[in-house]
Amino acid sequence: MDAMKRIDKTLTTAIEQSLAASVAQASGSGCPTRLAAALRYAVFPGGARLRPRLTLSVACACSEDHPGIADSAAAAIELIHCGSLVHDDLPCFDDAPTRRGKASLHSAFGERLAVLVGDALIVMAFETLVRGCASAPHRLAALTTIVGRGAGTPAGIIAGQAWECEPVAPLAEYHRAKTGALFAAATMAGAAAAGAEPGPWRMLGERLGEAYQVADDIRDVASNEAELGKPVGRDAILGRPNVARERGLDEAIVYLNKLIAEAIESIPECSGAAGLRAVIERQTQSFLPASLANRVA
C-alpha cells in the first residue's frame, strides 16, 4: 500500500468511526425505531466524504494535538451535509427519487421522517462537537461558531438553499453559500480543531467548494445516472444555473482547473503544507467521474 492510500484509509476509518459514534448516541435508549433506522440510512453508506476528509487533512497539516477534536469536527461537518441532502431532496425542493445510488430518504421512509432526520442531524452535529471537545473545552466555542456559520444563516448552506426561494438570486452568492460555505467550514474547523487560527484557511475551502460546484455542474451535463448514483440533467429541469451548460464543457473544465490551482496555492504555511497539497491534488481528481477525470490537469 503506498503512503497516500494508507493516509486515505486512516482518514476513512476515523470519519466512519466518529459518525458511527454520533449515530449510536442519537439512536440510543428511547429513540423511535423508524427514526433510528432513518438516521442510519441518511449517514451510511456515505458518498466521498469530501468535507470531513478536508477537515482531517487540514487538522493533520496543522499538527493537531487532540485527534478526537478533529474527528468530531469532521463528523459534525458531514452530519450537517447529510442533513442538507435529505432536506434538499424533499418533494418541495428537488423531489429527488434517488441519492448516493439508493432511494432518497423521503422515498424510503416518507416525507415526515425526512423532515425530522434533517432536523436531528443538525442537532447531532453540535452535540458531536461537545463530546469531541471534552478534553479541550476551550476549543468548543470556535468550532461551534464555524459549523454554525457554514450551516445556517445569513450565508451558510441553509441560506444558500433559500436563494432558490427568491425571485432573483445573485449567482456568486448562491454558490458561495450553497456549496462554498460548508467547504470553508470544513477547512476552518480542521484548523480550529488543531488550535490554529482558522481565518487563513477559509480561501482553501471556498475555492474547493466552488470547484466542487463546477464539477457538479459538469457531471450534471456530461455524466450518466449509473456513474453518478443520482439523476442527471436535473439543473435544466429545475431551472437552476449550470456553468457547463452556460459556457460549454471545455470552458467549464478550464475554469475547474483554475479553481483547483488557486485552492492549492492558498494553503497557508504550516508544518504539513507539502503533504496537504498532495492530498488536495489527489482528492480533486475524484471531483469528476472516471470518463471525465483525465481532463482535469
Catalog residues that contact a copy of itself under the rule CB under 8 A. Answer: 26-36, 39, 83, 87, 90, 92-93, 109-113, 115-116, 118-120, 122-124, 126-127, 129-130, 133-134, 137-138, 140-141, 144-145, 148-149, 151-156, 158-159, 161-166, 169, 173, 177
CA distance 221 to 94: 17
- Collapsing DSSP to helix, strand or coil, 288 comes out as coil
Ramachandran angles phi, psi of 102, nearest 5°: -140, 175
Ramachandran angles phi, psi of 47, nearest 5°: -85, -135
Of 202 and 219, CB closest to a copy of itself: 202
Of 169 and 259, CB closest to a copy of itself: 169
Query: Interhelix angle for 67-88 vs 3-26, to 10°?
Result: 70
Of 109 and 287, CB closest to a copy of itself: 109
Of 112 and 282, CB closest to a copy of itself: 112
Q: Minimum Å distance from CB 90 to a copy of itself?
A: 6
Centroid of chain to Cα 169? 22
Of 113 and 256, CB closest to a copy of itself: 113
Q: Minimum Å distance from CB 279 to a copy of itself?
A: 29
Of 53 and 81, CB closest to a copy of itself: 81
99: which strand partners?
Answer: 102
- Looking from the CA of 161 toward its CB, the CA atoms found within 13 Å total 19
Q: Minimum Å distance from CB 230 to a copy of itself?
A: 20
Q: Minimum Å distance from CB 32 to a copy of itself?
A: 5
State the DSSP code for 102.
Answer: E
- Collapsing DSSP to helix, strand or coil, 203 comes out as helix
Helices (H), 111-196: 111-132, 140-151, 157-162, 171-175, 181-193
Q: Minimum Å distance from CB 18 to a copy of itself?
A: 17
Q: Minimum Å distance from CB 80 to a copy of itself?
A: 9
